[in-house]
Amino acid sequence: ITRIFSGIQPTGIPHLGNYLGTLSNWARLQDQLTRQTPSEDCATNAVQARDKVIYSIADLHAFTVPQPPKAVLKNTLDMTASIIACGVDPERCVLFRQSAVPLHTELAWMLNCITPVGWLHKMTQWKTKLQNKNPSDHGTASSGIDAASDPNSETSKLRLGLFAYPVLQAADILLYSASHVPVGEDQKQHIELTRDIADMANRHFKTKLFQLPDVLMTTNKRVMSLRDPTKKMSKSDKTANATILLTDSDDDIRSKIRKTVTDPIDTVTYDPENRPGVANLLRIYSAFYQRAENSSNAESSALNDVTQLFAGKKNQELKEKTTDIVIESTRKVRQELKRIIKEEDYLMGCLLRGEEEASMIAAKNWERVKKASGLS
């Protein structure tokens, strides 16, 4: 691993899924990759270590769904505070706002001009959006495309940005020559697309402009909504009690987990298909259990241990024990977030410093693109 790059959209306060699936991994990776961070007074080495780990607040991606202008900056600062509270240290990595480095959109444009539209039509997330907009369609991509070409269909009202955002994501990654991109299962296809686009660009410009990044798969499974366990927990889900936020108090967490939708069977078994609510609680418990035990065992083994632990116990007990482990395991992060979220000047300072460093790295790579394309 020579450099990792990852991003998160500032679309609200992060929830337990964002924490387990992404932010805690960001902190862990930063710790692993900058373990030999030299002493503070050795400035050159410190910069070398910092730019191994680049994290972006993907505010431009957030616009793929409408954002109230008044909320944009506040959401960005809240996300910055959340990332730092989860253990990401802006002294040891580059943390910045995507929109502050306009080269992301410039490179995205160049990549748009060489990316075949058919590649984007294959993206599962896009196909899901098409199907949701077009219930009469039976879920094949081609019927979605047909519907999209009818200017009056519901699908043709979907926005271009939503269709093209995987290209912007490719630009985000390629601009920094990231060797690895830590993502969850849902984003794996987009990183594969990034590799294909990089390869296409290298052939198009007849020079090795871009490094093909590898996926660094994060291990934690999806955390599902507490109110509808067939849907993932989402920042934008406004259903009451569906998400546990990093700003929740102990009482909020207690009350939300108590109200979790389970099923009429009274004892605990792990059956994600038929008992998604109970399975979700077992997975949340096991994710924290694995951390508390400091176990390097695979996730599946922690889940087995936890399923054994609760075998024959009442759902009620699972809810209570999950409440305790969530409250205890997130206490430090929640306390730190509460403190830091008010420090707007400090947060802005961290972002400005990150922006400066990100711009320098991006400019070097963009210069090579300009040369290869003839723009220079």
State the residues that interact with ligand AQP by CB under 6 A: 8-9, 11, 17-18, 21-22, 58, 183-184, 186-187, 222-223, 232-236
Active site residue 127: no
Kindly name the residue from 129, 221, 256, 321 that is annotated as catalytic. Answer: 129
> With respect to ligand AQP, which residue has the nearer C-beta, 9 or 307?
9
Residue 37 or 187: the one with the smaller Cβ distance to ligand AQP is 187
Helix, strand, or coil (residue 112): helix
Cα–Cα distance for residue pair 204/292, rounded to 1 Å: 50
Question: What is the spatial distance between Cα 22 and Cα 218, in angstroms, rounded to a whole number?
Answer: 7
Calpha distance 264→223 (Å, rounded): 21
User: Residue 61 CB, nearest distance to ligand AQP (Å)?
Assistant: 6
Candidates 52, 235, 256, 319; catalytic one: 235
Say whether 122 is catalytic. Answer: no
Q: Kindly list the distances between the CA atom of residue 330 and the CA atoms of 16, 231, 323, in Å, as whole numbers in the listed order.
A: 9, 23, 11
DSSP annotation string for 142-159: HHHHHHHHSTTSSGGGS-
Q: How far is the CB of 223 from ligand AQP (least distance, A)?
A: 4
C-beta closer to ligand AQP: residue 17 or 166: 17
Annotated active-site residue 129? The verdict is yes
Which residue, 50 or 235, is less far from ligand AQP as judged by CB? Answer: 235
d(CA 347, CA 78): 9
Kindly name the residue from 133, 188, 232, 338 that is annotated as catalytic: 232
CB of 113 to ligand AQP, least distance (A): 25
DSSP state, residue 325: H
Provide the minimum distance between the beta carbon of 51 and ligand AQP in the complex, in angstroms, as a whole number.
21
Gyration radius (Cα) of the chain, Å: 22
SS3 54: strand
Residue positions annotated with a catalytic role:
129, 232, 235
